[in-house]
Amino acid sequence: MSKSDDVLYMRRCLELAAHGAGSVNPNPMVGSVIVSNGEIIGEGFHQKFGGPHAEVNAVASVANEALFPHSTLYVNLEPCSHFGKTPPCTDLIIEKGIPRVVIGCRDPHDAVAGKGTAKLIATGIAVTEGVLEAECKKLNEAFIKSHTAGLPFVALKLAETLDGKIATSHGASKWITGEPARGEVHRLRSIYDAVIISEATIRADDALLTVRHCSGRNPLRVVLDRQLNAPLTAKIFGSEAETLLFASSLSSGSPKVEQLRQIGVTVLFVNEHAEKLDLLEVLLELHKRHILSVMVEGGSRLSASFIRENLVDKIYMFIAPKLFGGDGLSAFAPLGITLPLDAVNLQFEAPRFFGNDLLLEAYLRK
Ligand SMILES: NC(=O)c1ccc[n+]([C@@H]2O[C@H](COP(=O)([O-])OP(=O)(O)OC[C@H]3O[C@@H](n4cnc5c(N)ncnc54)[C@H](OP(=O)(O)O)[C@@H]3O)[C@@H](O)[C@H]2O)c1
Ligand SMILES: [Zn+2]
């Protein structure tokens, strides 16, 4: 099998794996392909949390079992070697007599982390690692961050005009971008585990934060409301999706806590520092609740706070071909919150258009 064939089949694994987006969390997205004599004889992906792993589905799809000893199994993430919700995939590969395994990237999960690869090698299987490694790591960036940093992957999503304004001087921000860009935001919501919004933005926009312009599951909606200012009638407190509200521990005695709980909102308390909720504490609590990724749909101050606290991994900036001028609200230039004096350096991805709006994606360099 040539190196370019390995790349080709790994690309197919990535394509298959991506079908699990939004359904497998907090598990990783994994796809697997089995190839014999230059032909794909089986494929599968991890479809649902708790369900069979990609390798199991790929093995089960092979019609002619006699081909296993003459085949190569491709998988974008190191096969598991421990008993989780399902038995170890390494044992299945060994049992079927598959002589070669090609792996995209290592699994950072403590129970695997190199042990899967070591087990395969120990039984004489030829293992090739690191094929399309960067792409494989990117597909599971949230899973990897969660297991290596003990925190969710954090993306900021903002929509701004060409002159860098995220709201008019009257505070309206709902209609900056057009329908196709809003569709992409809904798709992002369907793959992020949670979205975070502030009480200030709820009061300005009364957004639902559900997935409506595409199919997919709703994210957990997380409201940051230090002093319990959001009205009980806000759309975000409706029953379409789950809502978690973080307030300051100083607000724990308020009668509104019980009222929120009665309408189905989970209320949690975290510390505040200098009249700001501790964002790290919020993220740690979400991590404890198996949230791998969050998209912050905040305004200027909340976005700036996340950047200043060095908690952001990625920014989605939708840019609309409009000018708001005047004293509209600038992204990241908020009242009383200054960014670090050194520049915050980012790395752009290829830009994409959604209708007339441009999406710039950028990773923060840490
Ligand atoms: N175009 C867009 O992409 C977009 C997106 C969202 C919102 N907006 C617009 O942005 C405006 C609101 O922006 P904003 O800057 O006033 O508010 P914001 O950034 O949405 O949020 C600030 C709010 O977050 C709370 N908060 C809790 N913890 C915080 C922390 N650690 N750091 C900072 N804030 C924290 C603050 O409450 P305390 O003050 O009690 O701490 C305050 O209510 C609205 O006009 C909205 O329409 C635009
Ligand atoms: Zn497995």
User: Using one digit for the tens of pLDDT, what is the confidence trace for 30-69?
Assistant: 999 999 999 999 999 999 888 899 999 999 999 999 999 9
Specify the residue with its C-alpha closest to ligand 1, atom 40. Answer: 226
pLDDT at site 45: 97
pLDDT at site 342: 64
The residues pairing with 75 across neighbouring beta strands, listed in sequence order, are: 32, 103
Please report the domains of the chain, with CATH numbers, ordered by start residue. Answer: 3-140 (3.40.140.10), 150-364 (3.40.430.10)
Q: Copy the structure tokens of residue 86.
A: 């399902």
Ligand nearest to the CA of 271: 1
Q: Is the pLDDT of residue 182 over 80?
A: yes
Which of 13-22, 77-86, 124-133 is predicted with the least confidence, judged by mean pLDDT?
77-86
How many A from CA of 143 to the centre of ligand 2?
Answer: 15
> Which residue of 154, 201, 285, 297 sits with most ligand 1 atoms within 8 Å of its CB, as the best mutation to test the pocket?
201
Under the banding of pLDDT at 50, 70 and 90, the label for residue 135 is very high
User: Using one digit for the tens of pLDDT, what is the confidence trace for 4-13?
Assistant: 899 999 999 9
CB hemisphere CA count around 340 (13 angstroms)? 9
How many A from CA of 65 to the centre of ligand 2?
Answer: 20
Amino acid at 298: G
The residues pairing with 230 across neighbouring beta strands, listed in sequence order, are: none
What's phi and psi for 271, nearest 5 deg?
Answer: -75, 160
Which numbered atom of ligand 1 lies nearest the CA of 157?
Answer: 3
The SS3 assignment for 9 reads helix
Which numbered atom of ligand 1 lies nearest the CA of 279?
Answer: 31
How high does pLDDT run on average in the chain?
Answer: 91
Strand residue runs (E) in 201-356: 220-224, 243-248, 266-270, 272-273, 276-277, 293-296, 314-320, 329-330, 346-348, 352-354
Most confident region among 203-217, 235-249, 338-352 by mean pLDDT = 235-249
Ligand nearest to the CA of 54: 2
Residues noted as catalytic: 55
Q: Is the pLDDT of residue 334 over 80?
A: no
pLDDT at site 337: 57
Q: Copy the structure tokens of residue 307.
A: 């950047």
Q: Which residues line ligand 1 (CB under 6 A)?
A: 158-159, 166-167, 171, 173, 176, 198-201, 204-205, 224, 226-227, 275-277, 279, 297-302, 305, 329, 334
Ligand nearest to the CA of 280: 1
Q: What is the dihedral of CA 215, 45, 134, 124, to 10 degrees?
A: 170
Given the DSSP bridges, would you call strands 272-273 and 276-277 parallel, antiparallel or unpaired?
antiparallel
